[in-house]
């Protein structure tokens, strides 16, 4: 379904981004992976993708820098001949108890919102013209934290609520040429939650499916709405094993 489609995945070297890049590659897409700091992981993911026979290129860019985002998007389109899919997966958090109001420092708010909200918007804006031409798709990786106000810290939850709102707004603004969809995971077993295994085990026991998500579970949902969800836009689809019901 995605043969020859060009997909840019932010934070694509690790976790959900990596799993999504590999899923798209297996479906025949041309992959562009953005990273900011995780160069070795991005290179390893590129090698895995190329082993499937797919084309993969890497692009280092700070997504909180609008000029850098615009330059990256222009380069992706020039290298690959366009852009069909944007997956905004890159994100940032800190693990701070919601009740620790003094621990939630101003700089943490700023850094989390800068990437999770502003960075997502910058990428969507920079890609909009190419995606309109290709009648493409944007998928924003949000979180159930943006729905239930829980999660790793108060600022993260608020940033994901904002990202869900941006998703809805852009679905209206970019229609009918571009679909914009949110995928909202619960806890996912990525490096983000390393060291919090007891917390994960507790959460897994509380879900109807009896486990938390793997990155591949989320990647399948992303693939599904891109490849088969042609009449879906503006929605925030929860992928959490039934925890948020």
User: Which tens digits make up the pLDDT trace of 35-44?
Assistant: 999 899 999 9
Predicted pLDDT of residue 193: 57
User: Quick one: CA torsion of 136, 119, 36, 60, rounded to 10 degrees?
Assistant: 50
Is 39 within a domain?
Answer: yes
Is 245 within a domain?
Answer: no
Cα(187)–Cα(106) distance, integer angstroms: 25
Catalytic residue (choose from 59, 108, 156, 223): 156
Domain that holds residue 116: 6-239
Query: CA Rg, the chain, in Å?
Result: 17
pLDDT of 217 over the 90 cut: yes
Cα(227)–Cα(135) distance, integer angstroms: 13
Residue with tokens 């085990």, as numbered in its chain: 201
pLDDT of 171 over the 60 cut: yes
Sheet-wide strand order for 30-35: 56-60, 30-35, 6-10, 85-88, 137-141, 179-185, 236-239
Spell out the SS3 assignment of the chain: CCCCCEEEEECCCCHHHHHHHHHHHHCCCEEEEEECCCHHHHHHHHHHHHHCCCCEEEEECCCCCHHHHHHHHHHHHHHHCCCCEEEECCCCCCCCCCCCCCCCCHHHHHHHHHHHHHHHHHHHHHHHHHHHHHCCEEEEECCCHHHHCCCCCHHHHHHHHHHHHHHHHHHHHCCCCCEEEEEEECCECCHHHCCCHHHHHHHHHCCCCCCCECHHHHHHHHHHHHHHCCCCCCCEEEECCCCCC
For the stretch 95-144, pLDDT in tens is 999 999 999 999 999 999 999 999 999 999 999 999 999 999 999 999 99
Cα(155)–Cα(192) distance, integer angstroms: 16
Is 185 within a domain?
Answer: yes
Mean pLDDT of 178-182: 98
Predicted pLDDT of residue 190: 64
Domains in the chain, number: 1
Active site residue 156: yes
Band of the pLDDT at 195, cuts 50, 70, 90?
Answer: low
Cα(157)–Cα(160) distance, integer angstroms: 5
* pTM for the predicted model, two decimal places: 0.93
Cα(161)–Cα(149) distance, integer angstroms: 8
176 upstream amide cis, omega within 30 of 0? yes
CATH number of residue 164's parent domain: 3.40.50.720
For the stretch 71-105, pLDDT in tens is 999 999 999 999 999 999 999 999 999 999 999 99
pLDDT of 159 over the 70 cut: yes
Is 1 within a domain?
Answer: no
């Amino acid at each position: 379904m995605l043969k020859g489609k060009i997909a840019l995945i932010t934070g694509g070297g690790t976790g959900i981004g990596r799993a999504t890049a590999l899923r798209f590659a297996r479906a025949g897409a041309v992959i562009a992976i953005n990273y900011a700091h995780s160069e070795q992981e991005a290179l390893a993911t590129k090698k895995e993708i190329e082993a499937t026979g797919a084309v993969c290129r890497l692009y280092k860019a700070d997504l909180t820098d609008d000029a850098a985002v615009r330059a990256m998007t222009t380069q992706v389109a020039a290298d690959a001949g366009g852009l069909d899919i944007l997956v905004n997966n890159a994100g940032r958090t800190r693990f701070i108890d919601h009740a620790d109001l003094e621990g939630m420092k101003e700089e943490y708010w700023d850094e989390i919102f800068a990437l999770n909200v502003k960075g997502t918007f910058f990428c969507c804006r920079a890609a909009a013209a190419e995606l309109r031409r290709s009648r493409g798709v944007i998928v924003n990786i949000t979180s159930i934290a943006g729905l239930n106000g829980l999660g790793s810290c108060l600022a993260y939850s608020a940033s994901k609520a904002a990202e869900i709102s941006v998703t809805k707004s852009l679905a209206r603004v970019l229609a009918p040429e571009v679909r914009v969809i949110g995928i909202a995971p619960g806890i996912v077993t990525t490096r983000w939650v390393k060291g919090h295994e007891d917390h994960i085990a507790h959460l897994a026991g509380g879900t109807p499916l009896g486990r938390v998500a793997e990155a591949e579970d989320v990647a399948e949902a992303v693939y599904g709405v891109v490849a088969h969800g042609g009449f879906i836009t503006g929605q925030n689809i929860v992928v959490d094993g039934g925890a948020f019901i």
